[in-house]
Amino acid sequence: MSKNVEQYLEFKKGKTRMPEHLKARKEESAKLYENKFIEFLSRAPFGVPHIMWVIVAMIFYWYTITRVELSIANIVAFSVIGFFSWTFMEYIIHRFVYHTETNSEEYTQFQESLHSKHHHYPKDPERLAMPPIPGLLLGSLFFGFFYLIMGIYAFAFFPGFILGYDAYITLHYYQHRIKSPKYKPWKKLWQHHKAHHYSNPYSAFGVSTRLWDYVFGTMPKASNKKRQVEVKAA
């Protein structure tokens, strides 16, 4: 049994407050890769992917309006569906890809490189959004998949999906970099994500919305509320 699985079971039994492989470190940032080039590629100031995805979405909208035979109504409708679909994808990836404990050493290393390090250094400003190169590669795969299942409608769906992702990384960045806003819905969203990091990493998987945690029963339990208050300014 892997150490991660052992820690997960200890946490579920209430014998440990937080699995070691998901516990936040005192340092804000750390070097993760010995190779300088890979280390450079693993970092991205928030503004870089944020601006990049807005530009990508605008290019798709321009192409869709001027080159693809879709009505404005279809473009708007599929764009809205795409935006909303991202929130579901965000939940699925976060819960079932990043937080599924496994005895596979290879998969554990995969999770470590993509997500566990974020739990170790949750305030690192250059690791709060996927860097451009892997982001573009993954985005291309998503678009190819969407095109296979919905044809030309993917040209309207994909930019909406991308803007959903951009909204997610924007909220995620500010949830880790500024204090909870006073506006109640946003304050609850901030506390929701902090509960995931500092109270129970196996709940509160939604970042841009709490909807899917309600739907699938992964909202933080009432017993975690005190802990959420403790960490809301973290």
* Average confidence (pLDDT) per 10 residues, the chain, 234 residues: 92 92 90 84 92 98 96 98 98 97 93 91 93 95 98 98 98 95 95 96 97 97 53 42
184 and 173: one domain? Answer: no
Which phi and psi angles does 199 have, rounded to 5°? -125, -55
> Quick one: pLDDT at residue 157?
98
Q: Rounded CA gap, 165 and 208, in Å?
A: 9
Q: Would you say residue 18 lies in a domain?
A: no
Q: Is the distance from CB of 201 to CB of 19 less than 8 angstroms? A: yes
Q: Would you say residue 186 lies in a domain?
A: yes
127 and 210: one domain? Answer: no
46 and 133: one domain? Answer: yes
Q: Would you say residue 6 lies in a domain?
A: no
> Quick one: pLDDT at residue 222?
67
54 and 155: one domain? Answer: yes
42 and 153: one domain? Answer: yes
169 and 222: one domain? Answer: no
> Quick one: pLDDT at residue 29?
87
Q: Would you say residue 172 lies in a domain?
A: yes
> Quick one: pLDDT at residue 231?
43
53 and 150: one domain? Answer: yes
Q: Would you say residue 8 lies in a domain?
A: no
Q: Rounded CA gap, 228 and 208, in Å?
A: 18
Range of the domain at 211: 180-234
Q: Would you say residue 222 lies in a domain?
A: yes
140 and 195: one domain? Answer: no
Q: How far is CA 214 from CA 129, 165, 211, 220, in A?
A: 25, 20, 5, 10
> Quick one: pLDDT at residue 114?
86
Q: Would you say residue 169 lies in a domain?
A: yes
Structural domain count, the chain: 2
159 and 184: one domain? Answer: no
Q: How many residues does the chain have?
A: 234
66 and 151: one domain? Answer: yes
142 and 82: one domain? Answer: yes
Point out the domain boundary residue: 131, 154, 178. Answer: 178
Q: Would you say residue 9 lies in a domain?
A: no
84 and 137: one domain? Answer: yes
Say which residue the tokens 């500010």 belong to.
174
